[in-house]
Structure 1
């Protein structure tokens, strides 16, 4: 198997215009379902949603969602809402490190690096 470096940079969605106070008032529509897993396949990641400095939702193909709660707060992650990672395998795992990407003038600059936690499968809560 050829070792490859995979990078993912998540940009701040232009459609997300809610103020932080409004965003925090919205209830979380998801609940945990099943056991957390240590890795998810990179090829299946469709998008991500950075919820705050410790929480990232990974939206997968097939509408699956995995929530990763970092073991420690990652400075500026919730504000910047974008990060990168590097791995030599085809999975993103709880032992991997993400790096916050800061918008610094004409390009993105690396910020804090933080470890991931386990990936908790989530589903929409019943109404």
Structure 2
């Protein structure tokens, strides 16, 4: 799944929405299973600050703080967000905006909630190349 790009106005609107709407039962069930969603991975090199957006083939969200970016050619970069991003793991989709063709550790992502509306905006961490267990 490719990340969905959203317009600047939609990102600005996210400031007005504190979090995605979920019931307490949905949040509890999600939080109980969040840790089990992060597959084991072994670092394969030095972490980098940026990745090329045109090379992102797929993203895999693992809870509220881990995203694997699968690139053309199969290389995987794991991003551990410096802070938990409420609703990211439940929704498993996000948008971002960049003007330089790179997604960097200084950039932010915005959780895309259902029904379609922007949710919380959260900062990224460095991109660690990894080999996933079982790959």
TM-score tier by shorter-chain length is 0.7 to 0.9
5+ residue gaps, structure 2, are: 6-28
**Aligned Cα RMSD in Å?**
2.6
Seen in structure 2, the aligned counterparts of structure 1 residues 24 and 111 have a Cα distance that, compared at 3 Å, is same
Distance 2:84 2:33 in 1: 22
Normalized against structure 2, the TM-score is what?
0.72
Distance 2:86 2:34 in 1: 19
Runs of 4+ in 1 over 4 A off after TM superposition: 19-27
Seen in structure 2, the aligned counterparts of structure 1 residues 85 and 25 have a Cα distance that, compared at 3 Å, is closer
The reply on whether 1:90 has 2:98 as its aligned counterpart is no
Higher strand share: 1
The answer to whether the Cα contact below 8 Å between 2:105 and 2:124 also exists between their aligned partners in 1 is: yes
Aligned length: 110
Choose which of 61, 64, 68 in structure 1 pairs with 2:79: 68
SS at match of 2:98: coil
Partner of 2:4: 9
Partner of 2:39: 28
Partner of 1:122: 130
Higher helix share: 2
5+ residue gaps, structure 1, are: 1-6, 11-18
Which segment drifts farther, 74-83 or 28-37?
Answer: 28-37
Partner of 1:113: 121
Normalized against structure 1, the TM-score is what?
0.76
Query: How far is the alpha carbon of 1:34 from its aligned partner?
Result: 1.2
